[in-house]
Structure 1
Amino acid sequence: MKLTVQLREETGKNVKRIRKDGLVPAVVYGKMLETPVLLKCVKNDFIRVYRTSGYSTPIELTGAVDQLVLLHAMQLDPVTDEVLSLDFLAVDKHQKVTANVPVVLVGESTVEKLNQGKIQLVKDSVEVSALPQDLPHEIEVDLSKVTSVNDVIFVRDLTVAKKVEIVDDAQQPVVTVVELEGEEESQETTPAAE
């Protein structure tokens, strides 16, 4: 994914003018840069790129700066959810980086089909290490493997490409099942009439 950027001189309160013009203030920093670089980009262009790349797919900045980056942070307006500012981390395509990759649930579990329980996503992202171009956009969790109320899918059960290493603790649960209260349980909790 490519995103065209321009250098910016505006800082502080002057950044509001950038936003009024449909631009988003940004900064790029990282080990390979001597100092952070202040940038701006067209908001709609960024949103288009973000929908495809998220936080774990490298973005190639072009224009004022030619740099491979990962989106490190995005500040949103708490009321309108409008993008206020962006932080990019400069990366080298020949060096491994770590990133949090979102977990996506796919398929349907037998437990939910039979109305025995409800799937609960305990961990919505997993930290991985890989070369920037090998970072997955998402990690799929196949719910068809959940066949009983006692089933748990752990980090160790996730499948990723050979070039990707999972950094998170292998014993952490990703998906669990919450047992639905049945009629028997609700009758047990109701006091008997005397």
Structure 2
Amino acid sequence: MSEVKIKAESRSEFGKGAARRIRRAGLVPAVLYGHGSDPVHITLPGHELMLALKTPNVLFDVELATGGSELALPKQVQREPLKGYLEHVDLLIVKRGEKVTIDVPLSIIGEAVPGALVGVEHNNLSVEAEATHIPAQIEVSIEGLGIGSQIHAKDIVLPAGTTLQLDPEALVVNITAAPTAEDIEADMAEAEAEAGVERDEPDAPADGAAESESAEAAASE
């Protein structure tokens, strides 16, 4: 698991105007809370924070301006919907040796048999793990799986010290036959019929036009 040291500064200004000023200075507003302590409002260096958050469930060692440090996991990350920059981050305090329940991304590896369609029903797996040993991802192999194969949560091999929190019978991966062009056309026709959409049929040439075309063809021979 990745552990990143990051230096925090105290924050005393609040509101949208203050948040904009903080972000213009290259910082990100954040709040640190958990374990019954009062929330601590801080700012974090934007570039370092952005790079660290590229690792799922990264563990932060937050150095506080008041002295000391706290281990924390990102609980909620708010991004500007269009430009994608960080607006605010909630950090949850954790302790070494503490067990936490968290969603871990799944990584599908390998390839199913030709002509198969791989359906992933869960992109993350809810597990319980020690706070400082959360896996960055859990691999699920579909190598050589045939049509009709299924992988349920209970079938996935978890890293040592990690226990499943999702329903063991939950379907995670479903291997089905890839649709043919005819299947797709039939599905589209059915959807259009249900929506009341009528397809335009190609216009048949008028009798006069047909006779003219026949005459022109004969003249060219």
| Structure 1 length-normalised TM | 0.86
SS at match of 1:160: coil
Q: How many residue pairs were aligned?
A: 182
Kindly provide the CA deviation profile for residues 125-180 of structure 1, in whole angstroms up to 9, marking residues without a partner as x. 01111111221111111121x52211111111111122111111111111112422
The alignment-based identity, stated in percent, is 25
The structure-2 alpha-carbon separation of the partners of 1:181 and 1:2, relative to structure 1 and needing over 3 Å to count, comes to same
**Partner of residue 176 from structure 1, selected from 168, 174, 177:** 174
Looking at structure 1, the residues matched to 24 and 158 of structure 2 have their Cα atoms a distance apart, in angstroms, of: 42
Q: Check if 1:20 corresponds to 2:40.
A: no
Looking at structure 2, the residues matched to 18 and 130 of structure 1 have their Cα atoms a distance apart, in angstroms, of: 35
Q: Which amino acid aligns with 2:60?
A: I
Q: Which amino acid aligns with 1:3?
A: I
Structure 1 residue 181, shift from structure 2 partner: 2.5
Structure 1 partner of 2:41: 38
* Contact 2:32–2:90 (CA under 8 A) maintained in structure 1: yes
Q: Check if 1:85 corresponds to 2:84.
A: no
Q: Map 1:27-66 onto structure 2 (within 5 A).
A: 27-33=31-37, 35-52=38-55, 54=56, 56-64=57-65, 66=69
Q: Check if 1:160 corresponds to 2:158.
A: yes
Structure 1 residue 28, shift from structure 2 partner: 0.8
Greater length-normalized contact order (CA 8 Å, ≥ 6 residues apart): 1
Structure 2 partner of 1:74: 77
Structure 1 residue 18, shift from structure 2 partner: 0.1
Structure 2 residue runs without a partner (length 5+): 190-221
Q: Which amino acid aligns with 1:168?
A: L
Looking at structure 1, the residues matched to 22 and 40 of structure 2 have their Cα atoms a distance apart, in angstroms, of: 16
The root-mean-square deviation of aligned C-alpha atoms, in Å, is 2.2
Structure 1 residue runs without a partner (length 5+): none
Structure 1 residue 183, shift from structure 2 partner: 6.9
Structure 1 partner of 2:8: 5
The structure-2 alpha-carbon separation of the partners of 1:19 and 1:155, relative to structure 1 and needing over 3 Å to count, comes to same
